[in-house]
Every structure is written in C-alpha cells, then in structure tokens.
Chains A and B, each alone.
Chain A
C-alpha cells in the first residue's frame, strides 16, 4: 500500500510540472525583455493566458469542430482494432500468411501518410472515409504487432494440455490464445489511440471543411495563433482521456496481464 503522502505526490508532481512550465512560458511571452531577446511575437507564440482566453471565447467553434474530430478518431480507432485483431489472428493461424504479409506490414509503416493523404482524399472525397482510412493505416500496426506477439507467447505445454482435453483449433484460439493475447492487445491499443488523434489531423489537413485539424489550418492562415493552440490543447485532452479510458478498461477486462500462463509457480 502506498502512504497518503506518496499518493499526493503522485498526483501533484505532474500537475506542478505542468503549471511550472506554463508559468515559464507565460513569463517568456509577457516579459518584454525576454520576449524581445527570444523574438517572441504574440502571433508566433501566444502566452498561455491568451490560449486560455481563446479556449473560452471560441468554445462553441471548438466544440463543433472537436465533435467532428472525435467521431473520426473513435470510428477510425474502432476500425483499426477490428482490422488489427483480424489481421493478427489470420497471420497467427497461417505460417505462410505470416511469412508473406509480415514484411508488407512493416513496409506499410514507411509510407509517409502526409504524402498519401491527399491521394486518399482524391479517391474517397472530403467526407469521413479518407480520415478513417488514414487513421486505420497508422493505428492497425501497433495493434496487429502486439496482438500477434500475444498470440505467439502462448505456452506450448498449455496447448498440448488443451489438445489432450479435446480442444480443436477454434477452442484453443478462443479459450487459450485470445485471452493470453488480450493484455497485449491493450498495449497496442494504448499506443494506437494516441496516434489516432494525429491521424485525424493529417486527414483533415489533406482536405476537409471542419474538425480541429481544419480549424488549426484556418487559424494559422489568419494568424489566429491563440485559437490554433487552443485546438492543439483540446486534441491533447482527447488523447489523454482516451488513453485513460483504455487503461481503466484494461484493468477491468485484462487484469491477468502478460504471460501469466507461463511459470505458474
């Protein structure tokens, strides 16, 4: 058990660092001596207080666009999980498929998404589809790789035991391999959900008429830097909240952790 003091420290330490950094930033932007020395202009780097003001004043605008982006992120992430797990299971069940597709899987991650994004917009239009494709392209990789590692980490003796307990291929997959892989899937999903937010922004930059990424571009062009940073702040909150939700779900749904079937004693 952690002592109360330790727990308070755990909570306040990150908060104190955040506040400290924001204070430094505020100081650098406000205090003319430093601002001049570092050539900080308000339209280049707004002070945190300006960003806070933008967050409040543009709240309706931000909320509308945030809703659009949130939908893209959630749908894209859901698609990645389904595709990633299906892909991992497919590669796990067939040695040939694994040999054939694994290099392609890795190669797919070297494709610069920024360059591909406009092409996807040409193919799929301005709507939701190109964003989903972009998010899925970025996100399925950590999910597939982690889930596949999980499926392959299954104890050989447990498989043998299951076979003497009349388990067929499907029963082994369902009762042994998938539960073993679930904690690994969560690890991959936690990485994926953070990059899903970036994927949505890339997608919107390539072509869109709404969303936080779109709002960033627009604000940047109009030198509304404070509003742009406000959009970035909202995106960060998205990533943190989604990550936290996944961590809580992991604790409830995959509490046994990785490799628990190995070394029982």
Chain B
C-alpha cells in the first residue's frame, strides 16, 4: 500500500492482507499477553499482537491507555510486569533495544547540531567518524525532500521539516523495527496530512516493520496495513481493522466510502472501549 501513494488512482498494487501476516518471513515482532502496572495503576492487560516483517501496524486508543508504555516495552527500555515480547525471536531486552529505533512525539532534535548531524546520530553513536556519518546521511536528504536543509539548525526548520529529520534519524539507525510514537501529534492539520503522505511514500521507498501509535483513526487507517484498537486503561486489544484497498492520493483515499465506513467502525470500537 505504501508505494501505492505515488501510484495513479485505482491502479492495483500488491498489498499484504492481515491473513497473510503469519506466513512467509514469519513474525518479526510478537507480544504475548503483555501486561503492565505502575504501582496500583494497571495500564496494560493481556495484549497479544503479532507484526509481520515489513508490516505497518497502527495502535489507536484513548489517551492514557498505555500505548506509549507498550512501545517502551517493545523497545526493551522497560520490562513488562506480565507476558513477553520477542523481536526476531529475541526476548532479551538488550537484544530488542538493538533491533528497534524509536521516534518520539516531540522531535527532540539537538539544537546544537545541524540537521545532518541530528539525522546521523546513530552512525556516530556506533563509532563512525563525523565525515563518514554525514556521507551516510546525505543521500537520504536528497531522497526525502530535505535537500538544501542539511546544514540548517533545528530552530530554523518548520515543524514538518523537523519531523522529517527526526524520521530520517530513526531510519538511519538501520533497525528492523521502527517504533513511531504519535510522530505527527504536534503538527497542525494541514502539515499533518502532508506528512502522512510523505511518510507513506518514505516507507514505500524504505519498507520497514513499523509499530505506529496514534490517536488519529484516519491517520492509522491511511498509513497502516492493520489498525489495532485498544480499550481505555488498562489497555487491551478490542478490535482489528484494515483498509485493504490500494491507496491513492490521501484526499482521494480518505473520502472513499469504504474508508469512511472503516473509520466509523473504528470510532465506534473506540467509544465502546472507553466504557
């Protein structure tokens, strides 16, 4: 579907179906009965979810349902109170950390570094020299609409541009799994729509296994192969939905009657889960 964003409207594009996720390359990411609590507060209850290689799965749920905590657990930064998470079969948190990169809602670009050095942080952290790290990042600036902004300081970039740099930073970490935590949560509606199209085409170019957290149902349905609806705290999986038709340009897709119907079902599930 991701490549389809660039394809003409209506042109069929091969797309993974939820039913196919168990087959082929096997499960990249598997959560088994994950539960978590902070003291007395139970935030996650019995979340089981499988994500196939190169599949994009979106998690939607009311605020406070433990979406971000779940991402932290998956990344290995936090151990779950119950259940387990495996990435490429590895359960050890250090091994999971090695296989994930995390994009927070706030771009968290370092103000003292130009855009290109922010994007190539992972390369530097692994011991690459500055020149080599920059050389590694430069081609991606060209490809992802950031040419000419390599030497801009984050403060000189617009919100959308900053998120692009933040996404490149996540991508350049070169991990099999990308964890995106409300990546466009801080953007205005218009920039947000623009960035959704941009991300869809970026993932078309550089397919990855993606776990995307958002509270925007439309964003979830548009970007993801599969949308998982979580209930209010303690979060548990209450519904899975997928918009299986090929995507055209965003405005075309989101106004499609089938898309609208799915959105309605997701919103109904969300409001039921809130009770």
Chain A positions near chain B (C-beta within 8 angstroms): 155, 157-158, 160-168, 171, 175-176, 179, 256, 260-261, 263-265
Contacts and interface: CB of A to CB of B under 8 A. Distances in A.
A264 B159 CA distance: 9
Contacts of A256: 111-112
Given A161-B108, A165-B122, 7 more contacts: A160-B77, A164-B101, A166-B125, A166-B173, A167-B121, A175-B110, A265-B159
Interface residues of B, number: 30
Contacts of B122: 165-166
B169 interface: yes
Given A164-B77, A165-B169, A165-B173, A263 B106 contact: yes
Contact of B126 (A163, A166, A176, A179): A166
Given A176-B110, A261-B108, A164 B121 contact: no
A264 B109 CA distance: 8
Given A164-B102, A164-B173, A165-B173, A264 B125 contact: no
A264 B108 contact: yes
Contacts of B72: 160
B104 interface: yes
Contacts of B102: 160-161, 164
Nearest to A165: B122
Given A165-B122, A167-B125, A265 B106 contact: yes
Which secondary structure dominates chain B's binding surface? mixed
A162 B125 contact: yes
Nearest to A171: B125
B97 interface: yes
B75 interface: yes
Nearest to A176: B110
A206 B61 CA distance: 70
A175 B108 contact: no
Interface of B: 72, 75, 77, 97-98, 100-104, 106-112, 121-122, 124-126, 154, 159, 162, 169, 173, 175, 179, 186
Given A164-B77, A165-B173, A264-B162, A157 B121 contact: no
Contacts of A157: 104, 106, 108
Nearest to A157: B104
Contacts of A165: 101, 121-122, 125, 169, 173
Contacts of B169: 165
Nearest to A166: B125
B111 A260 contact: yes
Most buried by B among A160, A167, A179, A260: A160
Nearest to A257: B111
14 contacts: A160-B72, A161-B108, A165-B122, A165-B125, A165-B173, A166-B122, A166-B125, A166-B173, A167-B121, A175-B124, A256-B111, A261-B110, A265-B106, A265-B107
